[in-house]
């Protein structure tokens, strides 16, 4: 496997000499400062939840978050990698340069009133934060602003770079950030992602990488009843490609995951479709296997054109490598996780969680055979590399992890056992569950950032692991080319349809203490006999 490997930056040793006792005192001060910020944290979490913007269309979200950072002295670079809603926000000087990121996009058709344990959309059919991406950048801002105060006073050198994961649900941006050099001089990266416990992992997480490709077919229109022989159906080509791919699945390895949607199937039945498109995700556990699936998909599409006398073009819309996270940083972070511990959940929090689990028919145990019953009350262990995996989901933070030592902090802002990418995963995301989970996550992140700034051996060891273990045999080869472009028009029409209605429900923190209060929701609201049951699969 050929490819270019990132060259490790050379972080200068921290100029500030801090004794263990002083470091411990600073950490206590840092956690106390984050506790003081709970109101502003809650407002950020609730505000971004209310925007509910799909990938590449996170206009209000990005404006709101960058305004906060700008007011706090960060230098903002807008529109990075040719993506209007992408940005970097930097503060500080000198080495190390640590990147701090999290995703900001939401899920189609996932509109849901927070704190309500059954399906009750704010706007029927509208997008919503059915994964919880409204919480990550507020967590990062909370952590970094608290840390910034200590860095200024103690004259601790280092540069912090905040950035958003745009269109993560489309794996649509991070590979372009890497390709265009935004992580070239970064010494380490901490990423945060919503979860149901406070945890971190290292090594191979057992997930899949992917390439996202749209196939566009073109034929010739004709009257479907009057002169069908004069038409060449692009939709026939799409359907034949899909049939071929579905037969092909029988002969693929168990680790593969592939799925598609027909994004354009023609205009109306009495016109032979002259244009049609199908959008595929090809997933597997290694770069060569993903590439093989991609090439097989192209062959299927070419075969469909031969059968229908049509033509075809294809376009990469996004990509992600299989993930691999850094051991030394994860070990340093887990010590801080143990110090922070899980939030103290109220009876109302647990009632909401158990009601949502019952509503969605959550399993009794998770994939590690741990019981699922309300919110987690026992801290998760440091997650070690998967020894065996048949594959699964993907996240384009992996592209950054193959270029810079990276970890992902999972924080307990959501409810265990829910379906994921679903309206139910929005239930907790503007409630005390999310607010407490984000505060806990901000503490773990801030403490780890402080360690990395004053203990240069952490980043030094991180690069040793990166070079001698992670990339010793596997080298990063981008799945996007030099000429591929981010698919920034995706979701534009959906947001144009729903944004005017959604604006009526944007959170107003000057008038309401919480978004629950603004929506008039009693916390928690659970099922009564006259509430209709949710559909088996949701939307």
Backbone angle region of 4, left / alpha / beta, with phi > 0 → left and psi within -120 to 50 → alpha: beta
Whether pLDDT at 453 is above 80 = yes
Whether pLDDT at 5 is above 50 = no
pLDDT for position 532: 60
pLDDT for position 12: 45
Whether pLDDT at 536 is above 80 = no
Closest CA to 131 of 109, 100, 99, 116: 109
Contacts of 313 (CB under 8 A, 6+ apart): 215, 216, 218
pLDDT for position 8: 54
For the chain, give every domain's residue range.
26-207+322-497, 210-319
CA 163-165-171 angle, to 5 degrees, is 150
Residue-wise pLDDT for 458-488, tens only, equals 999 999 999 999 999 999 999 899 999 999 9
pLDDT for position 320: 92
Residue-wise pLDDT for 84-103, tens only, equals 999 999 999 999 999 999 99
What CA–CA distance (Å, rounded) separates 186 from 163? 12
Residues of the chain above pLDDT 70, percent: 95
Residue-wise pLDDT for 327-368, tens only, equals 999 999 999 999 999 999 999 999 999 999 999 999 998 877
pLDDT for position 533: 54
Domain 26-207+322-497 classified CATH 3.40.50.300? Answer: no
DSSP state of 528: -
- If you average pLDDT over every residue of the chain, what do you get? 94
Closest CA to 149 of 29, 68, 64: 29
What's the average model confidence in pLDDT over 379-405? Answer: 88
User: Is 210-319 in the same CATH topology as 26-207+322-497?
Assistant: no
Whether pLDDT at 15 is above 50 = no
DSSP state of 201: B
pLDDT for position 13: 44
pTM of the model: 0.93
Residue-wise pLDDT for 288-326, tens only, equals 999 999 999 999 999 999 999 999 999 999 999 999 999
Whether pLDDT at 11 is above 70 = no
Q: Sorting pLDDT into bands at 50, 70 and 90, what band is 438?
A: very high
Contacts of 35 (CB under 8 A, 6+ apart): 439
- Right CATH for 210-319 from 3.30.70.360, 3.40.50.12240, 3.30.1360.120, 3.50.50.60: 3.30.70.360
DSSP state of 54: P
Whether pLDDT at 16 is above 50 = yes
Phi, psi of 103, deg, nearest 5: -80, 160
What's the average model confidence in pLDDT over 213-238? Answer: 97
DSSP state of 107: B
Residue-wise pLDDT for 23-33, tens only, equals 999 999 999 99
Show the DSSP H helices in 390-531 as ranges.
397-401, 432-454, 456-465, 492-502, 515-519
pLDDT for position 538: 36
What CA–CA distance (Å, rounded) separates 196 from 350? 13
pLDDT for position 14: 43
What CA–CA distance (Å, rounded) separates 451 from 209? 31
Cβ proximity of 326 and 470 under 8 Å: yes
Closest CA to 215 of 238, 233, 184, 198: 238
Residue-wise pLDDT for 392-404, tens only, equals 888 899 999 999 9
């Amino acid at each position: 496997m050929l490819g270019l490997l990132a060259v490790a930056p050379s972080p200068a040793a921290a100029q500030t000499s801090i004794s263990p006792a002083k470091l411990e005192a600073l950490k206590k001060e840092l956690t106390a400062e984050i506790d003081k910020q709970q109101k502003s944290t809650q407002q950020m979490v609730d505000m971004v939840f209310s925007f509910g913007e799909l990938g590449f269309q996170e206009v209000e979200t990005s404006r709101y978050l960058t305004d906060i950072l700008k007011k706090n002295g960060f230098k903002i670079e807008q529109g990075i990698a040719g993506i209007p809603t992408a940005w970097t926000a930097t503060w500080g000087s000198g080495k190390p340069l640590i990147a701090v990121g999290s995703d900001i996009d939401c899920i189609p058709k996932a509109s849901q009133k927070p704190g309500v344990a059954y399906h009750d959309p704010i706007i029927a059919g509208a997008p919503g934060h059915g994964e919880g991406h409204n919480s990550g950048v507020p967590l990062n801002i909370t952590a970094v602003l608290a840390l910034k105060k200590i860095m200024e006073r103690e004259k601790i050198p280092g540069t912090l770079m905040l950035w958003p994961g745009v269109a993560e649900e489309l794996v649509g941006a991070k590979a372009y950030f890497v390709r265009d050099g935004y992580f070239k001089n970064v010494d380490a990266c901490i990423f945060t992602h919503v979860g149901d416990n406070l945890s971190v992992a290292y090594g191979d997480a057992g997930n899949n990488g992917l390439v996202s490709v749209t196939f566009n077919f073109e034929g010739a229109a004709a009257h479907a009843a009057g002169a069908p022989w004069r038409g060449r159906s692009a939709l026939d080509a799409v359907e034949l490609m899909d049939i071929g791919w579905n037969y092909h699945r029988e002969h693929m390895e168990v680790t593969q995951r592939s799925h598609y949607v027909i994004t354009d199937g023609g205009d109306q039945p009495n016109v032979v479709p002259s244009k049609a498109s199908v959008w595929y995700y090809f997933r597997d556990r290694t770069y060569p296997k993903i590439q093989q699936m991609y090439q097989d998909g192209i062959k299927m599409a070419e075969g469909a054109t031969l059968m229908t006398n049509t033509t075809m073009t294809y376009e990469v819309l996004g990509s992600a490598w299989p993930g691999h996270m850094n051991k030394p940083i994860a070990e340093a972070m887990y010590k801080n996780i143990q110090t922070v511990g899980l939030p103290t959940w109220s009876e109302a929090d647990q009632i909401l969680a158990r009601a949502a689990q019952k509503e969605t028919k959550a399993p009794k145990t998770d994939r590690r055979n741990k019981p699922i019953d309300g919110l987690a009350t026992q801290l998760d262990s440091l997650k070690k590399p998967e020894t065996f995996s048949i594959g699964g989901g993907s996240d384009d933070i992996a592209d950054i992890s193959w270029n810079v030592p990276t970890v992902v902090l999972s924080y307990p802002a959501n409810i265990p056992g829910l379906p994921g990418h679903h309206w139910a995963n929005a239930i907790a995301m503007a409630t005390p569950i999310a607010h407490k989970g984000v505060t806990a996550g901000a503490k773990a992140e801030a403490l780890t950032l402080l360690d990395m700034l004053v203990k240069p051996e952490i980043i030094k060891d991180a690069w040793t692991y990166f070079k001698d273990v992670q990339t010793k045999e596997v080298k990063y080869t981008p799945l996007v080319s030099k000429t591929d472009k981010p698919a920034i028009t995706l979701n534009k029409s959906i947001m144009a349809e729903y944004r005017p209605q959604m604006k009526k429900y944007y959170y107003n923190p000057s008038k309401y203490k919480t978004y629950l209060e603004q929506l008039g929701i009693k916390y928690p609201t659970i099922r009564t006999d006259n509430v209709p049951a949710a559909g088996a699969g949701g939307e």
